[in-house]
Structure 1
Amino acid sequence: MSEKPPEDDFLRRDLPFFYRVYRPAAPTGECLFLLHGSGVDETTLVPLGRQVSPHATLVAVRGRIAQEDGFRWFRRISPIRFEQDSIRKEADAFADFIPKAAKRHDLDLARASFIGYSNGANLVSSVMLLHPRLIVQAALLRPMPVLDEVPPADLSNARVVILSGADDLTYRPFALALVGLLSRHGAKVEAHTVASGHEIGNPDAAIVRQWLADPAAAVATSDR
């Protein structure tokens, strides 16, 4: 009889989204849900997740929309316009996925944070606005607002950090609009600008790590 592979060694297909679970050697009970950007897969944010929180359990999820050789989270019309029905359908599905994944893997959602990059960040913010009070802590890297119509939403329990790239000419102009949108709905939002384009790297990981560990210090270094 063959041994069961370790949890981070296979793609899980037992829920509507494909995903992988990575458990650290010395878990602390923290959990990070990782949502990748366009055209890649669920493994791409794992190194950043480990930088951000080495002792957190990582849930790396794959978007369901096929794109070229990878995946995305909802259908697009142009780089800055998106199919609204697709956003809502996928946001609803992901909102259903979150508690099911938590129950299946014994995760405490009160200690869960969500890290999304680009299209993944846009899915996270959409879930927050369409299913308020489900996601209480989120790091959004290179995001933009994508919902044409936003319903009333109480995000007073939510804490968000938004990271834009100084040289990200396409998406950086939209970051301030997302800060305002989430703030108007009650979220506690911090905004940072890093010296990069749309790509992410070590500076992003350092800011998110500090933000998670020490909110007061993150506020002190915020570039608004």
Structure 2
Amino acid sequence: MTDNTYVHRLRAGAPGKPIFFVFHGTGGDENQFFDFATRLLPEATVVSPRGDVSEYGAARFFRRTGEGVYDMADLARATEKMASYVKTLAAEHGADRIIGLGFSNGANILANVLIEKGIFDAAVLMHPLIPFKPRDNAALAGRKVLITAGERDPIAPVALTRGLADYFVGQNAEVTQEWHPGGHDIRPNEIDAVRNLLAAYA
């Protein structure tokens, strides 16, 4: 039997409201963005899974062989599992829309599910790193994508982040970018950009 479940936190929302998935960064867990998500969308169903891969004790959503070097087979496994998980919970809760937010490794699994499967109506990718050329996906047209990043991020290089934004633009998604002058840290202007994007789903 295929395992399509994760250790997670879940708060059921009001009927007919969105379901909001939040994905932690490496070493985080299901608590990292859960309270933040409930404040952003108080009436949504909020789901925060814990990554099912351990890297020296740090939870992640897929394996890597080095900094910025992905285990592509495990990324494919994780993408299929997460897509099934998201669709199952969205159906169970009767969600009208599916929203995602991820930071770092969480942004990367969210981005790859979006690239491969669509599924998410809106996605917030905070400091993502996709070190390969994604395939074209016409289903991304009209999806809302917010990418936030640091101009001196040593983990998610600027060129790759801008390349990911250009990819989504090329797929006719509605793309917004929010940058700050720092590194791999979340700044207040990023939070403001997230609030602005998600106000339409409250």
- TM-score (normalizing by structure 1): 0.78
CA contact (8 A) 2:16 2:94 kept: no
Paired residue for 1:150, among 130, 134, 137? 134
Per-residue deviation, 1:80: 1.1
Deviation at 1:69, TM superposition (A): 3.2
Pairing 1:38-77 to 2, within 5 Å after superposition = 38-77=26-65
Paired residues of 1:31 and 1:59 also in contact (CA < 8 A): yes
- The correspondence of residues 30-109 of structure 1 with structure 2, limited to 5 A, is 30-104=18-92, 106-108=93-95
**How many residues were matched structurally?**
197
Unaligned ranges ≥5, structure 2: none
Instruction: Tell me, yes or no, if structure 1 residue 123 matches structure 2 residue 109.
Output: yes
Tell me which of the two structures has the higher relative contact order, counting C-alpha pairs closer than 8 angstroms and 6 or more residues apart: 2
**Identity rate of aligned residues, in percent?**
24
**Alpha carbons 1:34, 1:49 under 8 Å: kept:** yes
1:206 to partner: Cα distance: 2.0
The answer as to whether partners of 1:48 and 1:205 remain within 8 angstroms in 2 is no
| Paired letter, 2:40 | V
Q: Which runs of 5 or more residues in structure 1 are unaligned?
A: 1-13, 216-224
- RMSD value, Cα: 2.3
Kept in 1: contact 2:26–2:104 (CA 8 A): yes
Aligned match for 1:187, one of 151, 157, 173: 173
Cα displacement string for residues 107-158 of structure 1 (whole angstroms, at most 9, x for unaligned residues): 41x32210011011111111111113x1121000000214x35333111031
Amino acid at match of 2:192: A
State the structure with more CA Rg. 1
Q: Secondary structure of the equivalent of 2:31?
A: helix
The letter for the 2-side match of 1:93 is K
Q: Distance in 2 between matches of 1:178 and 1:54?
A: 30
Amino acid at match of 1:127: V
What one-letter code is carried by the residue in structure 1 that aligns with 2:63?
A: R
Q: Secondary structure at the match of 1:116?
A: strand
Residue 42 of structure 1: CA displacement?
A: 1.3
